[in-house]
Chains A and B, each alone.
Chain A
Amino acid sequence: MFGWKGKILRVDLSQGSCLVEDTPLGLARDYIGGRGLGVKVLFDEIDPRVEALGAENKLIFATGPLTGTGAPAGGRFIVVSKSPLTGAIANSCCGGYFGAQLKFAGYDLLIIEGKAPEPVYLSIRSEEVAIKPAGHLWGKWTTETEALLKAEIKQKFDIWEASDTSIVSIGPAGENRVRFACVMADGGRAVGRSGVGAVMGSKNLKAITASGRGEVAIADSEGFKKAVMDFLEEGRENKELEKRHMWGTWSLPGRANKTGTQAALNFQTGYFKPFEVFEDPAFIRDNIRVRDEACFGCPFACSKRSRIKDPDYPGTTKGPEHETMALVGSNCGIGDLDDICRANYLCNELGMDTITTGATISCAMELFESGYLPEKDTGCPLNFGNTASMFQLMKETSRRQGFGDLLADGGYAVAEKYGHPELFMGVKKQGMPAWHPQGIEVIGLQYATSNVGACHTKATLPMYEGRKDPAHHVEWTKQDQDALAVVDSCVLCWIIYHGPLWSEKPLVWLRAVTGVDYTADSLALIGERIWNLERLFNLKAGLSGKDDNLPPRITDEPRVNNQVVHLDRMLPEYYRWRGWDESGIPTPEKLLQLGLAGKAGAK
């Protein structure tokens, strides 16, 4: 068998059992792996109406056939679950080494079920799998959790085992079921969105350590090697390797701000003056960068380890990426780079999604400034730009203390409680990411129709050659959503493969690695199948076409470039391209075409 390992590790925390099963290979072919195989397993194994933070929900760590192969930018893994923030499907992705180590350990999927009676962590060393007590780790911040586990591994085994082992963990936020808690990995990376960290916390699972000594077999190793060489050559010629390596996402805050498409002041505007300084990304790199860090097998190495000179924020972390800089920065009225880094640091250590944290606090800030949210409730003045209050509330949120208990349920809960749900800037209760949709209209459609709620990893910017004509934006939205579903299933990095530049490559890697004769058409069909299955999951969970919406600020109030997003015009066209009826439900003919007949769980 090539690409896939053919094994699934199933851990039942209620029973304390760890079982190894065969990966159903037919399903693996039809859903590839990662996000696709993950949603297929979740859809078949749980009722989408279960309580997301109950023991019935499952947490699936999914690799794909390209994980651990060295396919360029193939270092990611996906976590699939039901989201406690949105009530919809969650399929958050993350880089680093965890996916590769899980694969070398021998597994395509790790399925976590049930709930441990006491805090535990899961140790995976190839076939040696054990559930171990984690009382000594509970309450710890994420880097300390990793450091303690690494020290244990070094003592029990050796220094190389500690170097190779990849660790994912939750912080206090996940333990306390903050609905936008994330799972942190490899000292500062995040499985950020949809609150999968809260699901992990609800299972009393503090961390997972993974290392493996197995191989990933390649069907056509000579062809694969040559294809990678060609890719590296292309990357050198078009300077993409150098650009990504140098700047990562740090070239974006200045660019988005300059064009007025930067989320600012709870999306009241698309421009924030203090961000002008970021128009030269060297300002960021020169001030905070420690070094560039790659995910497994990625020649781009776009992520950056950073440090600020403040003894209250010791050590290093990763980021802040563009999305973080926008949401905890400009969107909260904060422009100082060190303050943005402090917010990023706290989110990473406490284990909270930087984007939703920013979206939640910015929403509370606008409620406060509008006079809807009194200071006696917040316990502190919460005007835009008030960093002291923000840092204090972030810590309270992670502990569900004081006003933080409400913030921990997300911005929609806050806005609704104070009678102004329209001031929450999100979709399906998940905050919108960095790009203001009024700057690029079709982004609004992509946020509105995303299965996981507003999300940067599911949106593609129509800024590339061959993608610019607005007449085709709705059609391309459907195509690109399906293509990204394939990318997330391989698993490849959406940042590298979401534009047309390398869009043909996933097919090349998949054919060489797996030996399966995928074609461009069969992959497009698989992507559409995955997207529709996620849609069916959401419909069964109780969502409907009404949830494909945007805040009225985006559709009715021209804030950026005197534009609004005409979702009412785009959505029916989008449903037609999808082959869904006018209320957004996949038609029986469409489901039949996708091999999903009989799966209709709508209504």
Chain B
Amino acid sequence: MKIKVDYTRCTGCKLCEVACSLQHTGTVNPWRSRIRVFITEEYCLPVIAGPYTEAACNSKGVRVIDGREFDECVLCRASCPVKPIFKEPDTQIPLKCDFCGEPPDPQCIRWCATEALTLVDE
């Protein structure tokens, strides 16, 4: 099972961050969310926290998708020592998406009004 991201449908409302934070912490704090929305003038890109990796990579570059340039570090889902997001702000403990438990019921998908996020079978 996977969460499929269609960033072209994302409006940047960040309700996914609210939903995730409420689910995991009972409060609203995007920095404690396992999903973050990266916002530029051109697009909004939801990024979901993947596994932690101890090594910071040195291959950061630009990835072109459908003619649009993306920072690879932003696209990368890993929590790593050099990335500012996907860590608990106070303790720096890495965060990772857990599909909101078992059976999977990701709250970000339920709060997403534009279907930028959908649950798909692998």
Contact of A296 among B13, B19, B84, B89 (CB under 8 A): B13
Binds B, one of A228-236, A354-362, A458-466, A594-602: A228-236
B15 at the interface (CB under 8 A from A): yes
Complex CA distance for A159 and B73, rounded to whole angstroms: 9
Q: Please, which residue of chain B has its CB at the minimum distance from the CB of A220?
A: B26
Complex CA distance for A426 and B23, rounded to whole angstroms: 49
Q: Please, which residue of chain B has its CB at the minimum distance from the CB of A303?
A: B11
Q: Is the CB–CB distance between B38 and A221 below 8 Å?
A: no
B30 at the interface (CB under 8 A from A): yes
Distance in Å from the Cβ of A151 to the closest Cβ of chain B? 13
A483 at the interface (CB under 8 A from B): no
Assuming the contacts A228-B111, A294-B11, asked whether A216 and B29 have C-beta atoms less than 8 A apart, the reply is yes
Q: Is the CB–CB distance between A299 and B30 below 8 Å?
A: no
A293 at the interface (CB under 8 A from B): yes
Which A residues between 170 and 229 are near B, CB-CB below 8 angstroms? 187, 213-218, 221, 224-225, 228-229
Q: Is the CB–CB distance between A158 and B84 below 8 Å?
A: yes
Residues of B within 8 A of A297 (CB): 13-15, 18
Complex CA distance for A300 and B28, rounded to whole angstroms: 20
Encode B1-38 as 1/0 by CB contact (under 8 A) with A. Answer: 00000000001111100110111011111111000101
Which A residues between 400 and 451 are near B, CB-CB below 8 angstroms? none
B98 at the interface (CB under 8 A from A): no
A292 at the interface (CB under 8 A from B): yes
Q: Is the CB–CB distance between A70 and B38 below 8 Å?
A: no
Distance in Å from the Cβ of A103 to the closest Cβ of chain B? 9
Residues of B within 8 A of A163 (CB): 38-40
B119 at the interface (CB under 8 A from A): no
Complex CA distance for A158 and B81, rounded to whole angstroms: 13
Assuming the contacts A163-B39, A218-B26, A218-B27, asked whether A213 and B89 have C-beta atoms less than 8 A apart, the reply is yes
Q: Please, which residue of chain B has its CB at the minimum distance from the CB of A221?
A: B26
Q: Is the CB–CB distance between B111 and A232 below 8 Å?
A: yes
Residues of A within 8 A of B30 (CB): 104, 164
Contact of A221 among B14, B22, B32, B43 (CB under 8 A): B22
B114 at the interface (CB under 8 A from A): yes
Assuming the contacts A159-B73, A161-B84, A245-B114, asked whether A221 and B27 have C-beta atoms less than 8 A apart, the reply is yes
Residues of A within 8 A of B84 (CB): 157-158, 160-161
Q: What would 16 more interface pairs be, CB under 8 Å, given A70-B22, A157-B84, A214-B29?
A: A69-B28, A70-B15, A70-B28, A160-B38, A164-B30, A215-B27, A216-B29, A218-B26, A221-B26, A229-B110, A229-B111, A241-B113, A245-B114, A293-B44, A294-B12, A297-B13
Selected A-B contacts with CB under 8 Å, 27 pairs: A69-B18, A70-B14, A70-B111, A104-B31, A157-B84, A159-B38, A164-B30, A213-B89, A215-B27, A218-B22, A218-B26, A225-B19, A225-B22, A225-B23, A232-B110, A232-B113, A235-B113, A245-B113, A291-B43, A293-B11, A293-B12, A293-B44, A294-B13, A294-B14, A296-B14, A297-B15, A316-B41
